[in-house]
Structure 1
């Protein structure tokens, strides 16, 4: 199946909320993996079935210890847990100080996420830059989506990050703009900025800025979630993203040919992300 990486270039435009809502609406089995080195938000916001607290010790950190001998589906899922509502999650680090315990896990983790047999993976990568430890997860993804708002500063950082990112990932690129449904002019301005860039962003989506809908993914929701603008816009986005990553890619073709050795070096998304800033 496939890995989809969501990230931001600056600030907090709603990557975690977007990851949660897309995971909840994903049309196939999916695992939400918190790969944000700033620390887990899901363990704070959400609960396990029956309203029980999530186990913050079971997730990336425990996987780092157990996965040194291999990262198959069974190992990954053994260190995941389920949210109330049924979404499988891999809880991230509790604090940035725990990143040191991850060692060299990021690179094999990204590759393993992209090659899982049992589920797609949506990775909440938080804010990314050239020195971010989670960059190998982004590099391994089949679809990389940057999340921004329709503000000038957010779009400026988006433009800079895309200009660097395009040289270091072999993936389809997408942008999600989180904006008030009534602010279509602001969203169109973002598209105009992208059109003026030399970077080809193949996929563009508008996710509704909807505090009432987002509250459901922060443990505070009331009323009918399915009637919120957030869910109405996210439903179509989730379906389209899932369809995109289900299509065969050149990477899939190369992997298939590995059964018939031709003397070529196998593809590996391990190139260092250096410079570009």
Structure 2
């Protein structure tokens, strides 16, 4: 089981859509944590189409007098099937007040492993005030979501270079590509960014709109290349986390 953060360097490559899509195709129970510092819930307004009221979320979790693990349980809400979520802030002005939450929350999220639940964190774009960047040093895997055109790759390079110079550095960084081959391939992007491509998601705006803004699924949605790429991506991410954990155990073994 794992805690995985998805973030972006610039623009709107589809972090929230990718997070929701992966969760819907995840092979185990999974919790989506909305930590986008720009505020407003992409799940409530997007995937749920504004049909569910805001009840509780990160702000209430941060203000709770309870232990973080207990407060987290109170903040979790069911989404669908084995997918649950914690709603993000309602305004970007609230994000900077969460700085002291990330460390204790990372520990509480790691404890969910005992219940068989994985965690996908939607961290939104990097560089905004209130960004949950401390989590990037504490989770099992950090994925930069990027498209493969030149402006996106150049923006991502700025952050990957900063990541290598930071101390402590991000935990196990990798790439999630949206629209591989438009125009650059995974191999070409890896060469520029010096990070492995963990997964690639098919660029299909009509199918993505189902998770992005609650559109009616197009014909053959469940067997579309988009959905197949999400299933493959979920499997690849899980395999990457397992492999890196095994490598770490070998490194520390006497």
2:124 to 126, 129, 146: 126
Tell me, yes or no, if structure 1 residue 91 matches structure 2 residue 87: yes
In our comparison, the structure showing a higher alpha carbon Rg is 1
CA distance in 1, matches of 2:77, 2:250: 33
Q: TM-score, normalised by structure 2?
A: 0.85
Structure 1: tracts of 5 or more residues without a match: 258-277
- CA separation of 1:249/1:125 partners in 2, compared to 1, >3 Å: closer, same or farther? farther
Partner of 2:184, secondary structure, is helix
Alignment of 1:9-48 (within 5 A): 9-39=9-39, 40-47=41-48
- CA separation of 1:252/1:75 partners in 2, compared to 1, >3 Å: closer, same or farther? farther
Partner of 2:183, secondary structure, is helix
CA distance in 2, matches of 1:132, 1:112: 20
Moved more, 135-144 or 248-257: 248-257
Tell me the CA shift for residue 131 of structure 1: 5.8
CA distance in 1, matches of 2:196, 2:133: 21
CA distance in 2, matches of 1:178, 1:52: 26
What is the Cα-based RMSD across aligned positions, in Å? 2.8
CA offset digits 1:177-209 (Å, max 9, x no partner): 211xxx636231x53243245x4x234322111
Equivalences, count? 246
CA distance in 2, matches of 1:98, 1:212: 33
Whether contact under 8 Å (1:64, 1:102) holds in the other structure is yes
CA distance in 1, matches of 2:205, 2:118: 27
CA distance in 1, matches of 2:98, 2:130: 13
What is aligned with 1:110?
A: 106
Partner of 1:165, secondary structure, is helix
Partner of 1:88, secondary structure, is strand
- CA separation of 1:26/1:154 partners in 2, compared to 1, >3 Å: closer, same or farther? same
Structure 2: tracts of 5 or more residues without a match: none
